Chain A
Amino acid sequence: MVSQALSKTGAIFVRDARCALSYPAYFHSQWVAIFVEVTIAYYLSMIVAPSSSFGANGQTGSYFTFLVVSFAFVTFQNNAMLSFAESIREGQTTGTLEAVLATPTSLSLIVLSTGLWSFTLTLGRVVFYFLLALLFGLNLHHMNWLTAGVFLILTIAAVSPIGVLAAAATMVFKKTGPLAFSVNSATSLFGGVYLPLTKLPLALQVVGWMLPITHALNGFRAAVYGASLWDLRIEVAWMVGLTAILMPTSLYLFARTVHRGRHDGSLGQY
Chain B
Amino acid sequence: MRNVEKAFVVRHGARYAFSGDRRKTVLHDVNLEVRRGELIGLLGPNGVGKTTLLKMMATLTLPDAGTIEVEGIDIKKDPLLARSRIGFCGSDDRSFYFRLTARENLRFFGALAGLQGRRLQRRIEETLDEVSLRDAIDRRFGEFSSGMRQRMTVARALLGDPDVLFFDEPTRAVDPLHADEIRRMIRNDLVENRGKTVVLATNVLEEAWSICDRVAVVSNGTIVAVAPPNELASGHRFASVDATPIELFKAITACG
Contact = CB atoms under 8 A, between A and B. Distances in A.
A2 B83 CA distance: 19
Contact of B111 (A7, A22, A98): A7
A182 interface: no
Contacts of B94: 94-95
Contacts of B52: 265
Interface in B94-119: 94-100, 104, 107-109, 111-114, 116
A19 B112 CA distance: 17
B60 A104 contact: no
Interface in B20-55: 20, 26, 52
A235 to B, nearest CB: 38
B241 interface: no
Contacts of A268: 60, 92
B116 A7 contact: yes
Nearest to A3: B116
A7 B116 CA distance: 7
A266 B62 CA distance: 11
Contacts of A98: 60, 90, 92, 95
Interface string A1-26: 00110011011101100110011000
Interface string A98-115: 111111111000000000
Interface residues of A, number: 33
Contacts of B186: none
B80 A104 contact: yes
A266 B20 CA distance: 10
Nearest to B97: A19
Interface residues of B, number: 37
- The listed residue with most A CB atoms (<10 A of its CB), out of B81, B84, B108, is B108
A264 B24 CA distance: 10
B167 interface: no
Contact of A18 (B62, B95, B99): B99
B88 to A, nearest CB: 5
A262 interface: yes
Interface string A65-98: 0000000000000000000000000000011101
A15 B70 CA distance: 30
B92 to A, nearest CB: 4
B202 to A, nearest CB: 20
Given A22-B99, A98-B90, A259 B62 contact: yes
Contacts of B95: 94-96, 98-99
B108 A95 contact: no
A94 B99 CA distance: 12
A199 interface: no
Interface string A232-270: 000000000000000000000000000100111111100
B86 interface: yes
B116 A14 contact: no
B61 A263 contact: yes
Contact of A104 (B19, B20, B100, B113): B113
Nearest to A266: B20
Interface in A14-60: 14-15, 18-19, 22-23
A105 B83 CA distance: 9
A102 B62 contact: no
B58 interface: yes
- The listed residue with most B CB atoms (<10 A of its CB), out of A8, A103, A262, A264, is A103
B97 to A, nearest CB: 6
A169 to B, nearest CB: 17
B156 interface: yes
B100 A106 contact: no
A262 B109 contact: no
A237 B95 CA distance: 43
Contacts of B113: 103-104
A104 B109 contact: no
A104 B97 contact: no
Contact of A95 (B59, B62, B90, B112): B90
B107 A11 contact: yes
Interface of A: 3-4, 7-8, 10-12, 14-15, 18-19, 22-23, 94-96, 98-106, 259, 262-268
Report, nearest first, the 3 A-B pairs whose CB atoms are least far apart.
Answer: A11-B111, A95-B95, A22-B99
Interface of B: 16, 18-20, 26, 52, 58-62, 64, 80-81, 83-84, 86, 88, 90, 92, 94-100, 104, 107-109, 111-114, 116, 156
9 contacts: A12-B108, A23-B99, A99-B156, A102-B86, A105-B112, A263-B62, A263-B64, A264-B18, A268-B92
Given A19-B97, A22-B99, A99-B156, 20 more contacts: A8-B112, A94-B95, A95-B90, A95-B92, A95-B94, A98-B60, A99-B90, A99-B96, A102-B59, A102-B60, A102-B88, A103-B83, A103-B112, A103-B113, A104-B84, A104-B113, A106-B80, A265-B18, A265-B26, A267-B60
